[in-house]
Amino acid sequence: MKQWLGMAIALLGKPELLILDEPVNGLDPQAIAETRGLMRTLRESGSTILLSSHLLGEIEQVCDSVTVLETGKGSAAR
C-alpha cells in the first residue's frame, strides 16, 4: 500500500515528468499489472516517466527507450 500511496501523491499535480524507483517492488501480481497499466496510461497522456529498476523484464514491458548504467557510465538503447 505504501507504493500505491507514494504513486498517488506523486500524481496529484498531474506532473509532466514522473520519476519512479522500483515502482513494482513488493507488489502482488495484480498490483503489478495495474501499475504497468497506469504507467502506460500516463505515457499515452503525454507524461514522461523515468523508471529505475534492476528488473530488465519489467523495463522491457513498459519502456520505450532504455539506458543501462555500468560503473557510472550509461549507454542508450531503443
pLDDT tens for 21-66 read 888 888 889 988 988 898 889 888 888 988 888 888 888 888 888 8
User: Could you tell me the residue ranges of all domains in the chain?
Assistant: 2-77
What does the alpha-carbon distance between residue 53 and residue 58 come to, in Å, rounded to a whole number?
8
Residue 46 in grid coordinates: 503525454
Phi, psi values for residue 68, rounded to 5°:
-105, 125
Q: What distance in Å separates the CA atoms of residue 43 and residue 18, rounded to the nearest whole number?
A: 10
* 27, 2 Cβ separation under 8 angstroms: no
Work out the pLDDT band at 67, boundaries 50, 70, 90: confident
CATH architecture of 2-77: 3-Layer(aba) Sandwich (3.40)
